[in-house]
Amino acid sequence: MKVYGVELESRLLLGTALYPSPKILADAVNASGAQIVTVSLRRESGRERAGQDFWRLIRELGVRVLPNTAGCHTVAEAVATAQMAREVFDTSWIKLEVIGDHDTLQPDVFGLVEAAGLLARDGFEVFPYTTEDLGVGERLLDAGCKVLMPWGAPIGTGRGLANPYALRSFRARFADVPLIVDAGIGLPSHAAQAMELGFDGVLLNTAVAKAGDPVLMARAFRDAIAAGRAAFVADPMEQRDMASPSTPVFGMAFST
């Protein structure tokens, strides 16, 4: 996978919230093989020196940091958070979230496009958390985004791909754009399904962090994403409405 000129061996992006302990977080990241982790500025940089131990842990893991604007509900709030994140984490990468609905945490797509344009012009490399709406995708690309991150389902629900048809259409429309399914993934099979549709990567957090064994689950997601990608590259058979025998019948003995 290649995003903003950076080549990555892993197609799994992992969030860093909700883990039972820093050690389990570190072990899960290592088990997942992820090379990018997302970090919320609001969660990790509170008053005084809060968050410094966490930031030290992330540096020791040797992974790329993708700060996000989680919890932002306005354009101004998202832009300000992104600018602070650039100073704190020393990166121009930003996962852009502008939340429009409190219950579903669905993106405010109008604010998202506006904020993406402002940040792209300010030198940011934007990873926008969006819906699978084709028109919104086009406008985000016009705003300067080089990656699109449509949701699979509402954040934290673990429901998997709520609208596979729309995601398949999204993949077909933006054939040359890196696409990462973000949010709603609950099981390794969900991640494999996204990869089988041709998506370039999957971003998840809760499914690993809240598992009974986060380290084992991280490993399971690593393997599922690799399997799903391999299946897509292998060019799967087409589905059929009628049965078709896998054993040839021509030349077989029969009785009358």
- Taking the mean position of all CA atoms in its chain, how far away is CA 121? 24
Find residue 2's DSSP bridge partners: 7
CA gap 166, 170 in Å, rounded: 6
> Is residue 210 annotated as part of the catalytic site, yes or no?
no
Q: First CA to last CA across the chain, in angstroms?
A: 59
CA gap 133, 139 in Å, rounded: 10
- The 3-class SS string of the chain reads CEECCEECCCCEEEECCCCCCHHHHHHHHHHHCCCEEEEEHHHHCCCCCCCHHHHHHHHHHCCEEEEECCCCCCHHHHHHHHHHHHHHHCCCEEEECCECCCCCCCECHHHHHHHHHHHHHCCCEEEEEECCCHHHHHHHHHHCCCCEEECCCCCCCCCCCCCHHHHHHHHHHCCCCCEEEECCCCCHHHHHHHHHCCCCEEEECHHHHCCCCHHHHHHHHHHHHHHHHHHHHCCCCCCCCCCCCCCCCCCCCCCC
Q: Would you please indicate which residues are annotated as catalytic (active-site) residues?
A: 95
